[in-house]
Amino acid sequence: MTDRVEHRYGPAGIRLVTASFRSHHFVPHAHGEYAIAAVERGVEAVRYRGGTEHVPAGSLLLIDAETIHAGRPATDEGWDYRVFYVPAALLTELAGHRPRFTAVTPHDSGLARRLVRLHRAGSPLAATEEALSDVLARYAGVSVPEPEEPAVVRRVRRALAADLQHTPSLDELAALAGMPRFRLLRAFRRATGVTPHGYLLQLRLRHAQQLLAAGHPVARAAAESGFHDQSHLHRHFRRAFAATPGSFARNDVQAGRRRGS
């Protein structure tokens, strides 16, 4: 069987993903939303927060927003899951504070089945919020401030975010940081989990997602996010999200286009 992924939007901008993976390996990436997934079949291996977690059927996978992670099949059979990608503002409103999941892969078959039913039915916002609130009550706490990152890392991150069109060389970034190249690489990877150029790719992917969700065409999303062309954007979307850029367009935007608006 081949890998299959379906993207759609539910209430309040929650992105609903239904996926079956047999061979796909996700490269390190992050989402602007919180990811709340229920595994229906198989086992996924997730690299997250410096370790590898295994997520079998009947378990939840809970990933904080803006946190880099990667995934792969843990067995030859791969895994199936349903994911709620919840805007950070909505989950913060439900929690009353910026939440941080204290359990990443809890085995909770009852709650997993409930989330699957809601996901499959496209339930109203009230029912979805009630289930998300239960997830928060069981497995989240107040966000703990991250350790203060080195000033040189912060300086490089800001420079990368300021110009997505430019791909600076490592020598250029080392000069900006005022330290040797390999020392910068070690410091940056220790603070962010990726290299400077890996971080720049995350910024570009995030910006492209935002443009696509707002209804802009793929060509514009590619150009304004710093990708060479549409095929370059497609290639990186497939590696990071196992999906095409078009799948991130909101359903209401797509419907509006069909009506000619």
pLDDT tens track for 201-222: 999 998 998 898 888 999 999 9
Same domain (yes/no): 11, 113? yes
Kind and range of the H or E element at 137? Answer: helix 125-139
Residue 226 lies in a domain: yes
Nearest to 209 by CA among 229, 189, 230, 237: 237
DSSP string, 172-198: HHHHHHTS-HHHHHHHHHHHHSS-HHH
- Residue 246 pLDDT: 82
Residue 11 lies in a domain: yes
What is the C-alpha separation between 64 and 23, in angstroms, rounded? 24
Same domain (yes/no): 157, 120? no
If one compares 72 and 142, the residue with the highest pLDDT of the two is 72
Hey, what amino acid is at 260? G
What is the C-alpha separation between 134 and 108, in angstroms, rounded? 12
> Sorting pLDDT into bands at 50, 70 and 90, what band is 261?
very low
CA distances from 33 to 88, 89, 210 (A): 5, 9, 11
Residue 101 bridge partners (DSSP): 140
Q: How far is CA 34 from the centre of its chain?
A: 7
Pairing between β-strand 99-101 and β-strand 140-142 as defined by DSSP bridges: antiparallel
Nearest to 40 by CA among 90, 79, 95: 79
- pLDDT over 70 (residue 255): no
Task: State pLDDT tens for residues 22-80.
Answer: 999 998 898 989 999 999 999 999 999 889 999 999 999 999 998 999 999 999 999 99
The predicted model scores a pTM of 0.77
Nearest to 29 by CA among 248, 239, 249, 245: 239
Task: State pLDDT tens for residues 84-137.
Answer: 999 999 999 999 999 999 999 999 999 999 999 999 998 789 999 999 999 999
Q: How far is CA 61 from the centre of its chain?
A: 12
Residue 258 lies in a domain: no
CB-CB contact of 106 with 60 (8 Å)? yes
Same domain (yes/no): 126, 159? no
Same domain (yes/no): 108, 179? no
Residue 58 lies in a domain: yes
Hey, what amino acid is at 247? S
Give the domain extent around 222: 151-252
- Among 102, 117, 142, the domain-final residue is 142
User: How many structural domains is the chain composed of?
Assistant: 2
231: which residues sit within 8 A by CB, 6+ positions away? none
- Residue 45 pLDDT: 97
Nearest to 155 by CA among 169, 171, 174: 174
Same domain (yes/no): 130, 217? no
Nearest to 49 by CA among 179, 158, 146: 146
- Residue 59 pLDDT: 98
Neighbours of 73 (CB within 10 A): 18
Same domain (yes/no): 58, 75? yes
Task: State pLDDT tens for residues 159-196.
Answer: 999 999 999 998 999 999 999 988 898 899 888 888 99
- Among 122, 142, 162, the domain-final residue is 142
Q: How far is CA 261 from the centre of its chain?
A: 30
- Residue 260 pLDDT: 36
Same domain (yes/no): 115, 156? no
Same domain (yes/no): 9, 46? yes
- Among 114, 142, 170, the domain-final residue is 142
Same domain (yes/no): 111, 162? no
What is the C-alpha separation between 201 and 167, in angstroms, rounded? 10
What is the C-alpha separation between 216 and 224, in angstroms, rounded? 11
- CATH code at position 24: 2.60.120.10
